[in-house]
Amino acid sequence: MPELPEVEVVKRSLKKKILNSIIKKVQIKDHKLRYKVEKEIGNKLAGKKIKSIKRRSKFLIFEIDESYLMLVHLGMTGKFFFIDQNKEKFKTSFYYLLNYQKDQKHNRVIFFLNKNRKLIYNDVRKFGFIKLYELNRTTSISHLNNLGPEPLEKKWNFKYFKTYIANRKRNIKNILMDQKFVSGLGNIYVNEILFLSGVRPSRVVKKLKNIEIERIIKYSKIILKGSIKLGGSTIKDFSSENGKKGVYQQYFKIYGRKDKKCSNIDCNNSVIKTSISNRATFFCKRCQK
């Protein structure tokens, strides 16, 4: 599943390609995504301009004219393809070979734009979704209402962290992946953050030392900024707006390194893989306490 850096790169890519475009019509090829795509979406969006594209946590937020807000979540395999006026196809999401026949099988929603361009939402496993809201009713969007601060925001600080975890008995990995506590982090980056912070994923949060909390906050910001700069990462090879493959996965210190030597130069231990809440979890028993 794409996490904050990957969705941020998609947002930036889409802003370059479709901001201020007019939606001419919408073709729904498959209504059955995670939530059923509204049949009237085409009538509601036809003739309207895409005024802004934002990101909140792992959600993409499109402001359409002064009428609607379109909320998109990419799920596990959701991605956008852009086709320009010369019918050239661009990747803005995961890295896949551009194969029209193969891709067409999983095209779910097509937005026809002015100047003979198209934006295609493609989703193999159909865990993503597209929802439309009236702009004056956006305060009722449940997907956004309960999100915690983002790791790159100033609100994600020691005081907030310390107050939130007081007397809680949950482990640190689970709480970092709880979008109500901090929004945008997922399994890959949490593994990386905890390794660099020297904290074992199974540690109970109320037992964390102040210095460990400070390290978690520090490395959250460093890792996410680094990943965004490098174009995002994913096991499926993320692709940024210019078609370059995301390369942050080449810098993984712990994720996916089961039985390999620990990345720390002075450690000879091997990386251990376990499961926490049914999610693959990697750690070094010497370097993470």
Reply yes or no on whether 279 is catalytic.
yes
C-alpha span between 60 and 264 (Å, rounded): 36
A 10 A CB-CB count for 102 gives 10
Phi then psi dihedrals of residue 267, to 5 deg: -120, 130
Catalytic residue among 29, 203, 221, 279: 279
Is residue 15 flagged as an active site residue?
no
55 is catalytic: no
Point out the catalytic residue in the list 3, 8, 150, 192: 3
User: Which residue of the set 2, 5, 151, 201 is catalytic?
Assistant: 2
Structure tokens that stand for 32 in this block: 């059955």
Please tell me the number of Cα atoms within 13 Å of 15 on its side-chain side.
13
Read off the tokens for 250. 């080449």
Query: Given 56, 58, 131, 253, which residue is catalytic?
Result: 58
Distances (CA, A) of 163 to 3, 35, 167: 25, 35, 9
Known catalytic residues are 2-3, 58, 279
